[in-house]
Structure 1
Amino acid sequence: MSDVLVARSEGVVTLTLNRPQRKNALTGELVEEAISALEEIARTPDDRAVVVTGAGGAFCSGMDLGAPLLPDELSFMRRVGQLCTLLHDLPRPTVAKVAGPAIGFGCNFALCCDLVVAADDAVFGETFANLGISADGGASWSLPRLIGVAKTKELLFFGRQLSGKEAAEIGIANRAVPAIELDDFVQDWAQTLADGPTSALAMMKSLVNVSTESSFRQAIDREALGQSVSFKGQEARVAGRARMKKQVPNFRNP
């Protein structure tokens, strides 16, 4: 059975980590399957929004410490880094749907997505210090940008776990909802994104991703370039025609 399941519906691609017997813990095989899936999505124009989740009531419990790191630790972690980079840079809006544990790498893999929606009883944890190892999954980049340097150090140094509700309160998750509402809530967000202006969303994502590494002037210049491209694009024309007719723009079937 595949370690990563891919399902498509109405422009929404759902990527499911599928090792429920190990709470979807990371292995080399899972990494390679996930990389292949994301590369395929990037090549497929009909894939307009992505949901990342886990099977069996867990998101991802982190690295599978019982599996070998082949061919060696550094090479393995560079492939893990490639997976995280692909998800972070994917020119599609991405939503992490988190139920159950999102621990260690699992927590940070969720943060590679643009948006994180959690069940209020989900569990987020930066538990690396408890294992005597350093952080991975882009934590040293994403956490300071989400919650600040001091709070990041607190989470990493002490390895405390947070509920989905607490994660939303401090800014790790965008929303926390009752577990029974999680599927419908994420489906609504994902479908809205899939029905949206894909090219414009991709440009906005790219601008925001590099914003903290840019000066204000550089941000203004990048925005000007993005606007000049999108003004001439089909999505803007679709929106303009719909506005004239007082209709909702149909970006999927212009």
Structure 2
Amino acid sequence: MSTIQIQDEQGVRIITINRPDKRNALNLDMYTQLTEYLIQGESDNGINAFMIKGQTDCFTSGNDVADFLKNSNLGPDHPAFKFLFTLLDLDKPIVAAVTGAAVGIGTTLLLHCDLVYADNSAKFQLPFVNLALVPEAGASLLLPRLVGPQKAAELLLLGESFNADDAYQMNLVNKIIPSDSLFDYAKTQAIKLAQKPPQALQASRKLMRYDQEIVRAQMNKELKEFAIRLQSDEAKERFQAFLNR
């Protein structure tokens, strides 16, 4: 069974992260699939919105560390960063439905989504500094804008987990939905978007993201620093400790 599944329904491409045995940890092949499915949907006139979700008990626990370290030569063509820049470049809106763990990329990708819904099981975390790394996906720029500089410092520098209520108070999620109706609710919202006049929808979204090139520049800065940090002794120590748990 594929670790990334898609279903196209009423103008929405529903993308499901499906690796429950590894808590939906993303490996490089999964990043490649995600990128391909987004690009395909972007060019398909029958698709007007995306929805990203995980399992009922987990969104994603972040990167598959062992797999990630096999290809630690970071650059624009690295599967993880191709995915992130694809998120940045999409014209069509994205809805996310978050349950359980949303760690690292599981939280930062939400900064590129238009509507985010979560249930009470959602647990968010940005543990980059804990792993001797730096933020990615433009989080060092987008998160302070969203939650304020002091709160962003707390989330990014301390790297502690926070719950759905915290995320709602910080405007990271639009609404907290009961677990048994979360996916249906998020899909309904995505279908509403897909039924809007597509050109007006995309033009409005673009106007709201007027500073896309500033975000791109910040993401490139993060990428360069991330690559340096990944080769550092302190990162190697932290990753080895993580793998030995």
8 A Cα contact 2:110 2:172, kept in partner: no
8 A Cα contact 1:20 1:56, kept in partner: no
- For 1:186, give the aligned amino acid: A
Provide TM-score, normalisation by structure 2: 0.81
8 A Cα contact 2:55 2:99, kept in partner: no
- The alpha-carbon deviation at position 121 of structure 1 amounts to 2.4
Answering whether residue 16 of structure 2 is matched by residue 16 of structure 1, we say: yes
Write the distance in 2 (CA, Å) between the matches of 1:41 and 1:129. Answer: 34
RMSD of aligned Cα (Å): 2.0
* SS in structure 1 of the partner of residue 63 of structure 2: coil
| Corresponding residue of 1:74 | 74
| Corresponding residue of 2:128 | 128
* SS in structure 2 of the partner of residue 7 of structure 1: strand
Deviations 1:1-49 (A, max 9, x none): 3221110111111011121111111211011111111110011010111
Write the distance in 2 (CA, Å) between the matches of 1:39 and 1:148. Answer: 32
Change (3 A) 1:212 1:90: closer
8 A Cα contact 2:76 2:82, kept in partner: no
| Corresponding residue of 1:46 | 46
Write the distance in 1 (CA, Å) between the matches of 2:159 and 2:190. Answer: 31
Count of residue correspondences: 214
* SS in structure 1 of the partner of residue 191 of structure 2: helix
- The alpha-carbon deviation at position 101 of structure 1 amounts to 0.6
1:207-222 equivalences in 2 (<5 Å): 207-211=207-211
Structure 2: segments with no counterpart, 5+ residues: 215-245
- The alpha-carbon deviation at position 73 of structure 1 amounts to 3.2
Structure 1 residue runs of 4 or more that deviate by more than 3 Å after TM superposition: 68-73, 75-79, 211-214
- For 1:134, give the aligned amino acid: V
Greater alpha carbon shift after TM alignment, 86-95 vs 70-79? 70-79
Write the distance in 2 (CA, Å) between the matches of 1:71 and 1:198. Answer: 38
Change (3 A) 1:116 1:155: same
- The alpha-carbon deviation at position 99 of structure 1 amounts to 0.7
| Corresponding residue of 2:241 | none
Deviations 1:151-210 (A, max 9, x none): 111101111211112101111111112212212221221111111111111111111112
8 A Cα contact 1:80 1:137, kept in partner: no
Deviations 1:100-146 (A, max 9, x none): 11011111122221121111221111122222222223311321221
- The alpha-carbon deviation at position 212 of structure 1 amounts to 8.5
Structure 1: segments with no counterpart, 5+ residues: 215-254
Write the distance in 2 (CA, Å) between the matches of 1:148 and 1:58. Answer: 27
Greater alpha carbon shift after TM alignment, 151-160 vs 54-63? 54-63
| Corresponding residue of 1:162 | 162
Write the distance in 1 (CA, Å) between the matches of 2:24 and 2:73. Answer: 20
| Corresponding residue of 2:107 | 107
Deviations 1:220-250 (A, max 9, x none): xxxxxxxxxxxxxxxxxxxxxxxxxxxxxxx
8 A Cα contact 1:23 1:61, kept in partner: yes
Provide TM-score, normalisation by structure 1: 0.78
| Corresponding residue of 1:202 | 202
Higher relative contact order (CA 8 A, sep 6+): 2
| Corresponding residue of 1:227 | none
- The alpha-carbon deviation at position 55 of structure 1 amounts to 2.8
Change (3 A) 1:110 1:186: same
Write the distance in 1 (CA, Å) between the matches of 2:30 and 2:208. Answer: 29
